[in-house]
Amino acid sequence: MFNSLKASEPIFLRNLIIYPINGDTENGFNPLTIDETLSLKTGKFCELDTPDINKIIFENKNTSPVLMLDGEEITGSLQNRIITTSNLVEAESSKDIPVICVEEERWEEIGGFKTGYCSYPRIRTILAKSLYKKIDTQRLIWNEINRKLTATKTISTTSSMHDIYNNLQAEISRYLEDFHSLNRTTIGLIGVAGNRILGCDIFLSPKIYRKFENKLISSYVLDAIEYQRKSGNLPDVEKFFASIKSVSKKKRIKGMSKNIRVKGDGFLGQALIYNDCLIHLSAFPV
């Protein structure tokens, strides 16, 4: 897979630069997303019998598996959470999903779970770091959300990441007003803003990538908003991408369903393996 990957000419969305990643890995695997499943009402999230801040259950009633990404947000119930590692829930099965809170000031039932946004790269970077060393992941994420609230001059009574997105939705829409989709061979992207690389997401196929495209690019926009006045030399995207490809080629891409850690020169990340295929990889600069 990684031998065929190429980063093509960048797309400019105001100060957000998107480098499409192209590959020839289309195949028949076509999992559903959280958004599709909840819309079809063929799956649901629920709290454990004894609620746990770091775990919820997903019940999949579909005849297809459901793919969920690290950083995807689930809102409602006792508090808003994000998924900590990419997961695939088999057809007609249930699975405990590891999550972490992105709403510090609420532990109160407000109704069932709903789909949300995808965490912006700075939060997903914290999730990646937590795979490699013992850190106070929850405190770091709460601190980051409070920093973001201050930086974007956003108000949230519960220190909620969801409120940041809601309050900046008009600005996010302005970034995306002329954007439709990347080309049909795109299976991922690298996002850059100012003088920094924001992150990278790669999928098994264009079909799967397109299901997450708008959600992911919106999350990259949320970080880019902060770097509108940042200047300096563009980062070395080619070196970053080469490092990801080099390390990933050496990984044992084998297994029915598992997460693996991915670490290389200048980045940390994680990857989801299913049926001996790499379904999703995320990587962030460190």
Cβ(226)–Cβ(152) under 8 Å?
A: yes
Mean pLDDT, the chain, as a whole number?
A: 94
pLDDT at position 23, please?
86
Question: What is the per-residue pLDDT across 174-185, written as a single tens digit (0 to 9) for each?
Answer: 999 989 999 889
User: What are the φ and ψ backbone dihedral angles of 54, each rounded to 5 degrees?
Assistant: -110, 15
Mean pLDDT for the stretch of residues 233-255? 89
pLDDT at position 2, please?
66
The reported pTM is 0.96
Question: What is the per-residue pLDDT across 18-53, written as a single tens digit (0 to 9) for each?
Answer: 999 998 766 789 999 999 999 999 999 999 999 999
Q: Is the pLDDT of residue 67 over 70?
A: yes
Confidence band of 134 (pLDDT split at 50, 70, 90): very high
Tokens 């609620």: give the residue. 51
Measure the CA–CA gap between 75 and 81, rounded to whole angstroms.
Answer: 6
